[in-house]
Amino acid sequence: MICEKCGFKSIYKKKFGIPLCEICYYFSPNDEKSFFNYVEEKIDYSVLETYRNKKPNPQKKGMFEKAKKGLVVSRAPLGYKIIEGKLIPSEKSKEVFDIFNEFVNENISLNKLAKKHNLSVNGLKKVLRNFTYIGKIKFNKQVFQGSHEPIVPIVLFNKAQDKLEKLNLK
């Protein structure tokens, strides 16, 4: 059997009846609906190679924990806080939503919007491009379904990406 998400040949466990490798299992959401969306987003197992040791290594688990920590848990982006290693929307999550909403729906310059929310223009761009806000996590340059709560609707997020792209073309 192969991993349903990445095609890796070694199966670690089944979840909701779906065989997964250790890494895909580790990152899989617990909610059934998100889980099947996650499995639907196929990835190539080669992108996960960094976290799979070729030689047996007692520290494998530790490395993996570290990779995951560095990824999800090291710093919470604006609008989230970290509680027991998990991303939880903070009291600033409404502000993040407002930032996206104002950027997409109001005719306001990046400069003004940044000032209004006490951010640098670069900081603002980082917020607007952050996949965390739609419930995803970036892992080894790939975007995965995370298990945290999104604070920006995907439609709004996509509109922001379109607008950012248009601004960059000018």
Helix, strand, coil % (nearest 5) of the chain? 50, 15, 40
Tell me the C-alpha distance between 152 and 121, whole Å: 20
- CB of 130 vs Zn ion, minimal distance in Å: 25
Task: Give which of 141, 111, 107, 146 is closest to 125, Cα–Cα.
Answer: 111
Q: Of the two residues 7 and 77, which places its CB atom closer to Zn ion in the complex?
A: 7
- CB of 155 vs Zn ion, minimal distance in Å: 29
Q: Of the two residues 8 and 133, which places its CB atom closer to Zn ion in the complex?
A: 8
DSSP letter, residue 57: -
- CB of 8 vs Zn ion, minimal distance in Å: 4
Task: Look at the alpha carbons of 78, 79, 82, 86 in this order and tell me if their dihedral is positive or negative.
Answer: negative
- CB of 29 vs Zn ion, minimal distance in Å: 14
Q: Of the two residues 3 and 78, which places its CB atom closer to Zn ion in the complex?
A: 3
Residues engaged in binding Zn ion (CB under 5 A): 3, 5-6, 8, 21, 24
Q: Of the two residues 7 and 153, which places its CB atom closer to Zn ion in the complex?
A: 7
